[in-house]
Structure 1
Amino acid sequence: MEQNKRYRPNVAAIVLSSKYPEKVEFMIALRNDVANAWQFPQGGIDEGESPKEALLRELKEEIGTDEVEIIAEYPEWISYDFPKVIAKKMYPYDGQKQKYFLVRLKPKAKIDLDTKHPEFKEFKFVPYKDLFKYITYFKRPIYKKVIDYFKKKGYI
């Protein structure tokens, strides 16, 4: 009998620089607890919280600002399993069920990784052609699927 998997409800933000739409640059951040793990900001959805509320709270907690404009929302939830090394840390969850948002930093927004509980130690903006040189291996297929959707819809 197959075990039922438990997925943590989560939001993820594809953060574009304030130069969008003239210049498309993706913000990625380097985790401080996993070697060479670059990713988009993301985090769990609290009980009673909507995905959009969680998005803004998580951005504030992880990158020090919620000064963003929501451009688009991916229409479906996407699930993935954690690699074994991460699954231990995330017990009792086997993976995450994520809602993705495409957002643009407002012109005066300031990213500050020195938050109450820092998750990242570095960030940078990269063009699409360089994005997957950095992103941690197990997130690449999902990121590609979501970004391809936003490209197809004309947002990127």
Structure 2
Amino acid sequence: MTGAYRRGVGVMLLNADKQVWVGKRIDNTDEAWQMPQGGIDEGEQPWATALRELEEETGIPPHLVEKIAECPERLRYDLPDELQPKLWGGKWRGQEQDWFLCRFLGRTSDVNIATAEPEFCDWKWVPAQQLPDLIVPFKRDLYRCLIEQWAEYL
């Protein structure tokens, strides 16, 4: 069922003020901000992937992250037709992701986007309601779904 979709994860990371971590993508000339996400390696479990991706993209180590909730279903997005051949060797139509809502237990100084393979050139905390306006258009419905799913925590 998921053959046309790359399996991945995403993390909605909340600070003490219930704001969400977003990073500005290095590879996008538009003002594209997104939550941490990434692909699941073979044999890897979704939660382990979420912690690995979060650390790879934000520098935040797993001990500074507490899982609050998991989205009960995998969420999908489709890439625009013009992007499909350019990403992941044209193998995938989009992504199907497990999403985790997490609490950040650290300090601002614990965030370090200057990682080994940086994905972001800037980052900030934003109210969850701003997320759909910050993300690329083809992921907006997915972000709206997450906001609705986790409204009680936001």
In structure 2, the partner of 1:79 is 76
Question: What is the CA RMSD across the aligned residues, in angstroms?
Answer: 1.6
Quick one: distance in 2 between partners of 1:43 and 1:6?
16
Which amino acid counterpart does residue 95 of structure 1 have in structure 2?
Answer: G
Query: Residue 50 in 1 paired to residue 45 in 2?
Result: yes
TM-score under structure 1 normalisation? 0.87
Task: After superposition, give the CA deviation of every residue in 1:84-125 in whole Å (9 maximum; x if it has no partner).
Answer: 343212221111010110011113471100111001100000
8 Å CA contact 1:5, 1:94 repeated in 2: no
Q: Secondary structure at the match of 2:100?
A: strand
In structure 2, the partner of 1:14 is 12
8 Å CA contact 1:30, 1:120 repeated in 2: yes
Q: Secondary structure at the match of 1:72?
A: strand
Residue correspondence of structure 1 range 94-105 to structure 2 within 5 A: 94-105=93-104
Query: Residue 26 in 1 paired to residue 23 in 2?
Result: no
Residue correspondence of structure 1 range 1-156 to structure 2 within 5 A: 6-17=4-15, 19=16, 23-35=17-29, 36-66=31-61, 67-87=64-84, 88-90=86-88, 91-108=90-107, 110-151=110-151, 154-156=152-154
Identity value in percent: 39
TM-score under structure 2 normalisation? 0.88
- The Cα shift of 1:141 comes to 0.6
Q: Secondary structure at the match of 2:125?
A: strand
Which amino acid counterpart does residue 19 of structure 2 have in structure 1?
Answer: E
5+ residue gaps, structure 2: none
